[in-house]
Chain A
Amino acid sequence: MLDDAGPDPVVQMYHVYKRYGSQDALHDINLIVSKNDFLFIAGPSGAGKTSLLRLIFMGEEVSRGQILINGINLQRVRRTKLPLLRRNIGVVFQDFRLINSYTVYENIALVIEAAGRQRRYIQKKVRQVLRMVGLEDRIYTFPPKLSGGEQQRVALARAAVGDPLILLADEPTGNLDTDCADMVFDLLKQLHLRGSTIIVATHDRRLFEKAQGRIVLLNNGRIEGEIRS
């Protein structure tokens, strides 16, 4: 697998372990993701997909091993520099994680507000990503008033608004009916075409059977193989 390293690696994982208590959630993971890859991490529930993504977006630290994001070794990054590094990564969480007391606009704007972008730019950019996911008319709605599919798309818009180098999506179609799932998946493909590197964790065979890209099979915290489709 290491031989698959493209010319422009954005994620490099070497002998990565993640341990919760006495149990290994991830075991000796070696994975290289190149720029503009569309990568699936496929495996049954409990395989360690979410844990793997969490390590990449720096939600947690590895127990052992090394992770490099865009060439930067996460273990050498000072805590105060983490926010800057995180802005390279957009995440669609499995449970969306929208802020219920913020409007759709505020939820999305938060990302680029935290990055200190200009007000004008923020207004323009938020509308743009909302148009992309087809939720322009929901701009001042609060998330609890949205359907699951709409929340998913808001989450996707938020992940995309900062023009991240890498976009992670955890079970992006998990709770959706087929139509919604197709729409979300199409959006991911669109972002891929625009140059983003996409990593999707899923246990949904349908999703990657009709997709193009690398499929890394994860089971019991170990990578069991890789398919190119």
Chain B
Amino acid sequence: MNLTILSSVFRRALRNISASPYLHMAATGTIAFSILIIGAFAMLYMNINDLIGSWQQNIRVVAYLTDKVPKASIEPLRQNIAGLYGVKRVRFVSKDQAMARLRSQLKHRQSLLDGLSENPLPAAFEIQLIRAWQSWGRIDPLTEQIKAFPEISDVEYGEAWLHRFSAFISFFRLAALIIGGLVFATAVFVCTNTIRLAIYAKRAELEIMRLVGATDFFISTPFYIQNLLEGLLGGLIAIGLLFASYKLFVANVQAPGVFMGPFQGRFLSLPGTGALLAAGMLMGWCGSFLSLKQFLKP
């Protein structure tokens, strides 16, 4: 490879683009649209994951004791539970402490409790988990272990809907992968066809090049450049649109704290943005590769 060949290759790429601008605009638009969809899914997925992560960090497991547990066996039991894998700290809350807490939460309506002849609240262990255990997959087996102690009547954590939500997230991830794959394939298909059209329009010219001793590199590189440029441009457009939508979202929905509470949504990371650009260029590259593979067959 040398300067002459490189400059010839770039010249012909630009020439191809300016010779059929609408075709290339269509291809660029398709790539932009595809990257926009893929990027939107990625951002949604990332932020929902963040949100769930922030919820999971606040998971507190509460194990209720039966009323028959003698005072003397509470401390050994506490230590047993504290010894389980994944448990960071265990705090005992007696029936009286639980009642006191309830009273302070009720504030002005404490009188509601005055009619009770005895304390209905159970004593409990409040269990904090180490970070690695703050995920649904590991909490379940741990709570089973705790439930197995005869002194424990029940174990509670999080809320059921949160659990179901995480199932939804797995589904969402799968759906996003499938849709992303389809969108990617569509973009590759469109790129393949734009190049195929370009090749078809130039088949006589390409045949001549071949006959005067041009290499496959010399003949096909302009098409690769063309599609890579389309991919780059499409990717940049998509990222621009994505960023603009994100800013709009932050200004109108998140900043006023409409429903997200303290949660901060974020834009794609730099590597993530780079990956989107790379995906756009990969679409273009695949398009060239597939169409040229047929043409360059001996």
- State which residues 145-182 of B face A: CB under 8 Å: none
Shortest beta-carbon distance from B215 to chain A in Å: 5
Instruction: Report how far A91 CA is from B1 CA in the complex, Å.
Output: 25
Asked if B132 is an interface residue, CB under 8 A from chain A, the answer is no
Taking CB atoms, residues of chain A closer than 8 Å to B209 are 110, 114
Question: B216 and A80: CB pair below 8 A?
Answer: yes
Instruction: Report how far A113 CA is from B3 CA in the complex, Å.
Output: 10
Taking CB atoms, residues of chain B closer than 8 Å to A162 are 212-213
Instruction: Report how far A224 CA is from B5 CA in the complex, Å.
Output: 45
Q: What bracket does the count of chain B residues touching chain A fall in?
A: 20 to 34
Closest B residue, CB atoms, query A91: B211
Given A116-B4, A119-B4, does the pair A97, B215 have CB atoms closer than 8 Å?
no
How many A residues face the partner with a CB closer than 8 A? 26
Instruction: Report how far A99 CA is from B204 CA in the complex, Å.
Output: 8
- State which residues 72-106 of A face B: CB under 8 Å: 79-80, 83-87, 91, 97, 99, 101-102
- State which residues 1-34 of B face A: CB under 8 Å: 1-5, 7-8, 19
Taking CB atoms, residues of chain B closer than 8 Å to A85 are 213
Asked if B246 is an interface residue, CB under 8 A from chain A, the answer is no
Question: A86 and B213: CB pair below 8 A?
Answer: yes
Given A79-B298, A97-B204, A101-B205, does the pair A110, B212 have CB atoms closer than 8 Å?
yes
Question: A86 and B211: CB pair below 8 A?
Answer: yes
Question: A114 and B205: CB pair below 8 A?
Answer: no
Shortest beta-carbon distance from B131 to chain A in Å: 56
Question: Contact mask B176-217 → A, CB, 8 Å, 1/0?
Answer: 000000000000000000000000000011001111111110
Contact of A114 among B3, B19, B204, B215 (CB under 8 A): B215
Contact of A83 among B19, B208, B215 (CB under 8 A): B215
Question: B8 and A113: CB pair below 8 A?
Answer: yes
Taking CB atoms, residues of chain B closer than 8 Å to A118 are 4
Question: B213 and A116: CB pair below 8 A?
Answer: no
Asked if A11 is an interface residue, CB under 8 A from chain B, the answer is no
Of A57, A59, A79, A113, most B-chain CB atoms within 10 Å: A113
Taking CB atoms, residues of chain B closer than 8 Å to A80 are 215-216
Question: B2 and A116: CB pair below 8 A?
Answer: yes
Question: B205 and A57: CB pair below 8 A?
Answer: no
Would you list 30 pairs from A and B whose C-beta atoms are within 8 A, ordered by A residue?
A57-B211, A79-B298, A80-B215, A80-B216, A83-B210, A83-B213, A83-B214, A83-B216, A83-B218, A86-B212, A86-B213, A87-B212, A91-B211, A99-B205, A99-B208, A102-B205, A110-B209, A113-B4, A114-B5, A114-B8, A114-B214, A114-B215, A116-B2, A116-B4, A118-B4, A119-B3, A119-B7, A122-B4, A158-B212, A162-B212
A residues apposed to B, CB below 8 Å: 57, 59, 79-80, 83-87, 91, 97, 99, 101-102, 110-111, 113-119, 122, 158, 162
Chain A to chain B: the 3 pairs with minimum beta-carbon distance, closest first: A114-B214, A87-B213, A86-B213
